[in-house]
Amino acid sequence: MKEWVQKYILNNMVLKVASLAVAIILWLVVVNVSDPVVDTTYTDIPLTVVNADAITSDGKVYEMVASNMVTISVSAKRSILDSLSGDNFKAEADLSLFNEETGMVPVKVSSNRYSDKIESIRSKTESVEVLVEDGLRKQFVITPEVSGEPAEDYIIGNVTTAENVVRISGRESVVSKIAKVTAEVSVDGLDSDVNTSVDLKLYDEDGEQIKNSNLVKNISTVAIAVEILATKDLEIRYNYTGKPADGYMVYGSVTGTMNSVKVAGRNSDLQRVNYLDIGNPYLDVTGLSETTEVEVDLNKVIPEGLRLVDEENDTLSITIPIQQLVEREVVLQKSVVRIGKLEGNLKAELMADRTISFMVTGVQSAISSMNLSDIKATVDWDAYMDDNGIAEITPGTYRLPLTITLPEDITTVKEVMVSLRVTENE
């Protein structure tokens, strides 16, 4: 046995050890050539913040300056890397390691697979800047803002939001810059109501939008409703009531600063109205003795369900022209009085002397410009017979009212009566 060992095992020992070493080296070379260690880059690895309470517990808030994604480099055998993806890696920023002097936090990367077979993992961003300061929480009114113009003959009506306020918290330096929070919607070219949900937008005092994803809001969107109303022009009609003081009259037309007004509302409400009537109590002339100016709030007289399109121009000024009456005696030659023909061979003549006089009244300008040629006087036998139930006129003496036709705005003070004698023609 000893000889066998000496012959087969111990004989040429040096050569055998050398052969084994060469075999091992060759195996290593083959393995490294066929499955070498290589470097691979993975992008967009989410950067997770951990131990945030190390900062927030003191009433502070933080904000990551850089992107919340990092790029990492991994060294491992090709066969290992072929089995890995970006989802197998985790990048963390541990705020308990925050350096107050530099404002930096180191980035730590780890793998949930083959961690013992990975040669190295490192983030190309070795540390990230973190802003730390006092926190601030404020409440802001949500301002709805509508842009664009609705379709022709339509306007914007009421605009409402489901929520009126929003609470925002974050770094004091950022929150303190917020001057306005808006809910914005466009109605360009629309002819029907809008109901939608929009993102809230933040603006500073200069109107510049504040875009900061690190701000915390109790709501980030809000429902907004916009009424789109049809419009219509309504003619304004002025109708006065009552009677001015004795000796005065409404002379001319009641006029206003507007002849029409544009209103808006639902089509069903607009179809019910075609004009706007301004009357009592605004145009009650009872007892007036001078021209009077009246102001009317149009919001109080437009029909229910409608609104003014021009809300700033909502006051209507109305002028009621009142003038004093004067009297003048009119003397007519009796020859100008037209006496209608009677039936048969009857004739009628005025029993007055050469003239007939009576008093008329009107405003000074009308009375002054009146000419006698403008006045017509007629005896109306038919009206007299109808009023008195007379079937026919017979010879005798009659007292009848004269029918006096006068220029506009002039009237007789009282009824003008004349006496006539009816005889038969010879």
Burial of 130 (0-12, 13-18, 19+ CB in 10 A): buried
Alpha-carbon distance of 105 to 96, in angstroms, equals: 9
Q: What is the mean pLDDT of residues 238-245?
A: 95
Q: What is the mean pLDDT of residues 189-198?
A: 96
The pLDDT, as a whole number, for residue 31 is 45
| CATH of 37-125 given 1.10.287, 2.40.30, 1.10.3470, 2.170.120 | 2.170.120
Burial of 80 (0-12, 13-18, 19+ CB in 10 A): buried
Answer yes or no: is pLDDT of 20 > 70: no
DSSP state of 269: H
Q: CATH code for 239-320? A: 2.170.120
Residue 78 CB contacts under 8 Å (≥ 6 apart), including other chains: 35, 36, 37, 38
- Confidence class of residue 146 from pLDDT cuts 50, 70 and 90? very high
- Confidence class of residue 195 from pLDDT cuts 50, 70 and 90? very high
CA 163 to the chain's CA centroid? 17
Give the CB-side neighbour count of residue 269, counting CA atoms within 13 A.
13
Residue 413 CB contacts under 8 Å (≥ 6 apart), including other chains: 327, 358, 359, 360, 361
Q: Which CATH architecture has domain 134-230?
A: Beta Complex (2.170)
The pLDDT, as a whole number, for residue 66 is 79
> 111-120, 160-169, 342-351: which has the highest mean pLDDT?
160-169
CA 416 to the chain's CA centroid? 65
Q: What is the mean pLDDT of residues 288-296?
A: 95
| CATH of 326-424 given 3.40.50.720, 2.40.160.40, 2.170.120.30, 3.50.50.60 | 2.170.120.30
The pLDDT, as a whole number, for residue 30 is 46
Give pLDDT tens digits for 312-351.
999 999 999 999 999 999 999 988 999 988 888 899 999 8
